[in-house]
Structures are given as structure tokens and as C-alpha cells.
């Protein structure tokens, strides 16, 4: 039996804007297996980022349920949700969301401070992680002193600080040029392959197609179709052949 | 199937850790912190200068000395002119609005940071505590500097009006003259000014911080200033 790490049941999200109600998600049902690399694809406004937020416990659905590791997220206490965000998932955002008052090293240690890891251990771990993403020589620079690609590397190191089993990446390459974007994708893919981290990425970057195990196409708040790796390879091959 | 370990409860951070993070934040954002603190300083300086001038005026009237410029002014029975009361109330309003505004702005521009910290596992209470510590420190230091500047201003004005007599009758301590109104004295005015500045800064910052901390992180990070 497949090990389902994320499951959504009829997830609906509505935003109230004055007297209008915007239905961003209209009943989403997906299952994600442990160790998978999943890309949520769709045009902007399709609801993929909203779904991303629901899966990451960054927002609560209006209706429906989200299960992670078999736990119904709506039944967790505030403290459990904080612990979930701290230990179980790592987030990577389009705009990096680094704390600009903390150095690269300071950003990576912060989730470990929240987890109560002793200072010596967390400093070592931050150094290891920053070394791994190739920023060993810029550890004590502030985010403003780093390039976009370097900032995203810090964000990746930070996402891995507490050894999460899931990494959520929301448009991680959207603000980067093709070459740097490719490097970031390769880095994320290597986490998936070498460490078995489940990757859930919202994207419309076609470069992410050929590294994904499955692609969930989201349109108008619904799952339009789910494609798996074999179908994707054919499509990419065709595009490449022309 | 792999283990389904139940999700544990998030731990509280030790107080020293919060203190360290809040000071680090003030230090790195030094320029911005100074501007916010300057807002508090100005409000309190204005309030304390008006108030202290008033105290000095009353003290010297009690002693029989008249200001060269206030001689013809109509005074109430208590010895405080309506203009003085009006000025104190006005300066209090300016001070409250000014401090609340500068703290509110300082927190609002950090909504994204609050959302990000929650993504990394911060408890709502930690976020509020961080802002409480930062604003308490800013409020106290800003208000203390403001109160001292305000007092100095009032003393200089007093010197111009009353000359060196000012120092003989300087209302440093609280006093209750037999036939006059209760005098707070300059020290009490300074302390009240510091207290007010700190309380206003803490309320002005922790209330919006508390509201931001309650938001789901996705919403806090969406907020644009």
C-alpha cells in the first residue's frame, strides 16, 4: 500500500472581498505519496498557491479536510501547528522571505532556535547546510548583500534546518533567470533523490516538468488532470524534437 | 507503511532567547529604530516641556515672582490659565497620536516578517513578546530622552522669563501649597512622561503585532504596505 503523506478531501477556499465571494479552490482531492516530487501547475489565479498554502498549514480551508501524515490538520492545536511548521515541513517561497535583519547563517539557525536546539549544535548544522547549498563563504552576509540565486539557496538551507519530511516550494524559480533557476531546480531535485524528501512545488516553470514524478494541473480551483512521469517525458521529448 | 508519529506540541522559547532576538533586531534595524524612537522622543518632549513650564510658572507665582510676559494674563482661581490647560491637553493628544502612529507603521511594515517567523515555527505568543520587548525598550529610552529634552527646554524658557530666580524656587519635588493647587514637581512630570511614552509605545506596537500574529501566515505575508 502506498504511503500517503498528504491527502486533501474536497478542499474549498473562499475569499471574501467586500460583498463578493471569490472561490479560489472548488473542491480539491489529491493524494501525495511519501518521497514524491509533485508539481502543482496552472496559470496565475488558478488556485495553485492557495492549495499550496492549505497543504503547508499556512492558511485554513473554508470547507474540506487536509490530512498530513494521517493527521487532520483542522484538529491540531495552535502549538501543534507551530510544531508542525517547525519540524515537519520546510518552505521555499518565490520572494525568498528571508528575514533581512538576520545574516544567511542567522536565517538558517532561526527554525532551530524555535525547535529548542542548543546553540552549538545549531551553529554547526547551519554551517553544514550553507556549505551544502554552496554558500560556505558567504555565511555571515545579510540577504541584501546576496544575489537572488544565493538568497534562494539560503531559503533552501533554512527549509532543511529541522530535517523536514516535506519541502514545499512556491514558485521557487519565478524570480530567477534560466541558468540560476535550473541550478535551484537541480538542488531541490537532489534533496528529493538523495534524502527522500517529499517535494511539493507550485510552479508554472516548464523546466520543473522533467524533474517531477507527477504533475497536477490546477485550473479554476479544480484539479484538471494529473500526469505522471512517463507522459511528461513524451511531451518534453516532443517539444525538444521540434 | 511508515510510522505515523503524532505531531508534538511546540515549546516555548527561553526568555533570554527572546531578549537576544529583540535586541539584535533593534541593532540591525538601527536607523529605522532611531526614527521610531525619535517619534516617541518628540511627543514626550513636547508634553513634558509644556507641563514643566506650567509647573515652573505656578511655583514662581506662588513665590510672588511674576513672569515679565504673563503679568497681564487672566488666571483662574487655581492659578493655572485656561490657555495652559488647553496647551497640556493638546500636547497630550499630539503625543498619543504621534507615538501610536509611529509604532503602528513600524509594526505594519513587518507583517511579512511576522508571517515568515510563523512559517518557521514561531508561536503567536513569541511574536507578541518580541514586539513587546522591542517597543518597551524603544518607548522607555525615547521617552526618557524626550522628557530630559522637554525639561531642558522648559528651564531655558523659564530662565528667559524669570531669570536666575528660577533656581531658587525650582519645583523639583511635589509640593502642596496652602492656598494653591497641588504641584507635581518636575521629577514626577519626568517620570510620568517616561511611563506614558513606554505604555503608549507598548500598546501601539503589541496590539497590531498581536493582530498580525493571529493571522494565518499566508495572509500576513500577503500584506503589502
A66-85: per-residue pLDDT in tens? 999 888 999 999 999 999 99
Contact A99, A114 (CB under 8 A): no
- Test the B interface: residue of A57, A58, A96, A159 with most B CBs within 10 Å: A58
Q: What are φ and ψ of residue A202, in 5° steps?
A: -95, 130
Give the distance from residue B103's alpha carbon to the nearest chain A alpha carbon, in angstroms.
18
| Residue B209 belongs to domain spanning | 31-65+81-222
Give the distance from residue A80's alpha carbon to the nearest chain B alpha carbon, in angstroms.
5
pLDDT at A197 over 70: yes
In a domain, B25, yes or no: no
pLDDT at B70 over 60: no
Number of domains comprising chain B: 1
CA distance B191 to B198: 11
- Test the B interface: residue of A79, A104, A155 with most B CBs within 10 Å: A79
In a domain, B159, yes or no: yes
Highest mean pLDDT among A211-220, B22-31, B104-113: A211-220
Of A101, A93, A167, residue with least CA distance to A129: A167
Task: Render pLDDT for B117-165 as a digit per residue (tens, 0 to 9).
Answer: 999 999 999 999 998 898 899 899 999 999 999 999 988 888 887 777 7
Q: What is the pLDDT of residue B78?
A: 45
Q: What is the pLDDT of residue A63?
A: 93
Q: Give whole-number Cα distances, B87 to A112, B75, B148, B178, in Å.
A: 52, 14, 19, 26
Q: What is the pLDDT of residue B84?
A: 74
At A25, which helix (H) or strand (E)? Answer: strand A20-33
Determine the residue of chain A that is closest to B9 in CA distance.
Answer: A80
Fold category of A4-241 in CATH: Rossmann fold (3.40.50)
| Choice among A28-42, A63-77, B170-184, B185-199 with the minimum mean pLDDT | B170-184
- Test the B interface: residue of A52, A75, A99, A159 with most B CBs within 10 Å: A99
Q: What are φ and ψ of residue B145, in 5° steps?
A: -60, -45
Q: What are φ and ψ of residue B15, in 5° steps?
A: -60, -40
Q: In what order do the strands lie in the sheet with A71-72?
A: A20-33, A4-17, A63-68, A71-72
Q: What is the pLDDT of residue A105?
A: 95
In a domain, B52, yes or no: yes
Q: Counting every residue, how long is chain B?
A: 225
Q: What are φ and ψ of residue A210, in 5° steps?
A: -75, -5
Cell of A14: 473562499
Query: Nearest CB to B119: which of A3, A58, A60?
Result: A58
Contact A47, A216 (CB under 8 A): no
pLDDT at B225 over 80: no
pLDDT at A209 over 60: yes
Q: What is the pLDDT of residue A80?
A: 92
The average confidence (pLDDT) of chain A is 89
Give the distance from residue A236's alpha carbon to the nearest chain B alpha carbon, in angstroms.
33
In a domain, B45, yes or no: yes
Of A75, A43, A67, A58, residue with least CA distance to A13: A58
Q: What is the pLDDT of residue B87?
A: 79
Q: Work out the pLDDT band at A44, boundaries 50, 70, 90.
A: confident
In a domain, B14, yes or no: no
Mean pLDDT along residues B9-22: 85
The average confidence (pLDDT) of chain B is 80
CA distance B194 to B198: 6
Q: Work out the pLDDT band at A242, boundaries 50, 70, 90.
A: very low
Q: Which residues of A touch B21 (CB under 8 A)?
A: 113
In a domain, B128, yes or no: yes
pLDDT at B95 over 90: no
Amino acid at each position: 500500500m502506498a504511503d500517503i503523506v498528504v491527502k486533501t478531501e474536497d478542499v474549498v477556499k473562499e475569499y471574501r472581498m467586500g460583498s463578493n465571494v471569490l472561490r479560489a479552490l472548488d473542491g480539491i482531492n489529491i493524494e501525495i505519496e511519501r518521497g514524491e516530487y509533485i508539481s502543482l501547475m496552472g496559470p496565475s489565479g488558478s488556485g495553485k498557491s492557495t492549495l499550496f498554502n492549505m497543504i503547508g498549514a499556512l492558511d485554513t480551508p473554508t470547507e474540506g479536510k487536509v490530512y498530513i501524515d494521517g493527521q487532520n490538520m483542522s484538529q491540531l492545536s495552535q502549538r501543534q501547528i507551530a510544531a508542525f511548521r517547525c519540524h515537519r515541513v520546510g518552505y521555499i517561497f518565490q520572494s525568498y522571505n528571508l528575514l533581512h535583519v538576520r545574516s544567511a547563517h542567522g536565517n538558517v539557525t532561526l527554525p532551530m532556535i524555535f525547535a529548542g536546539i542548543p546553540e552549538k549544535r545549531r551553529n554547526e548544522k547551519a554551517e553544514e547546510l550553507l556549505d551544502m547549498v554552496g554558500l560556505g563563504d558567504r555565511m555571515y552576509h545579510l540577504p541584501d548583500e546576496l544575489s537572488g540565486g544565493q538568497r534562494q539557496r539560503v531559503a533552501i538551507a533554512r527549509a532543511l534546518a529541522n530535517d523536514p519530511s516535506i519541502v514545499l516550494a512556491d514558485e521557487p524559480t519565478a524570480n530567477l533567470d534560466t541558468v540560476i533557476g535550473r541550478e535551484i531546480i537541480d538542488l531541490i531535485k537532489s534533496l528529493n533523490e538523495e534524502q527522500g524528501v517529499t517535494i511539493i512545488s507550485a510552479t508554472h516553470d516548464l523546466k520543473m516538468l522533467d524533474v517531477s514524478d507527477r504533475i497536477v494541473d490546477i485550473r479554476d480551483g479544480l484539479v484538471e488532470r494529473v500526469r505522471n512521469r512517463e507522459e511528461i517525458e513524451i511531451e518534453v521529448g516532443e517539444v525538444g524534437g521540434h | 507503511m511508515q510510522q505515523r508519529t503524532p505531531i508534538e506540541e511546540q515549546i516555548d522559547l527561553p526568555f533570554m532567547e527572546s531578549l537576544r532576538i529583540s535586541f539584535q533586531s533593534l541593532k540591525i534595524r538601527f536607523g529605522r529604530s532611531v526614527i521610531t524612537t525619535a517619534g516617541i522622543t518628540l511627543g514626550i518632549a513636547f508634553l513634558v516641556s509644556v507641563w514643566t513650564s506650567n509647573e515652573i510658572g505656578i511655583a514662581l507665582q506662588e513665590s510672588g515672582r511674576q513672569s515679565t510676559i504673563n503679568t497681564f494674563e487672566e488666571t483662574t482661581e487655581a492659578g493655572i490659565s485656561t490657555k495652559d490647560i488647553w496647551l497640556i491637553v493638546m500636547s497630550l493628544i499630539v503625543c498619543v497620536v504621534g507615538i501610536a502612529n509611529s509604532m503602528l507603521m513600524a509594526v505594519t511594515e513587518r507583517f511579512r516578517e511576522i508571517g515568515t517567523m510563523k512559517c518557521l515555527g514561531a508561536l503567536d505568543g513569541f511574536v507578541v513578546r518580541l514586539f513587546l520587548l522591542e517597543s518597551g525598550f524603544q518607548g522607555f529610552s525615547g521617552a526618557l530622552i524626550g522628557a530630559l529634552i522637554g525639561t531642558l527646554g522648559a528651564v531655558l524658557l523659564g530662565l528667559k522669563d524669570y531669570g536666575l530666580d528660577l533656581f531658587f524656587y525650582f519645583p523639583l519635588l511635589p509640593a502642596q501649597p496652602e492656598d494653591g493647587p497641588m504641584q507635581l514637581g518636575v521629577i514626577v512630570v519626568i517620570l510620568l512622561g517616561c511611563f506614558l511614552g513606554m505604555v503608549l509605545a507598548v500598546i501601539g506596537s503589541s496590539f497590531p503585532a498581536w493582530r498580525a500574529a493571529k493571522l494565518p501566515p499566508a495572509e500576513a505575508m500577503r500584506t503589502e504596505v
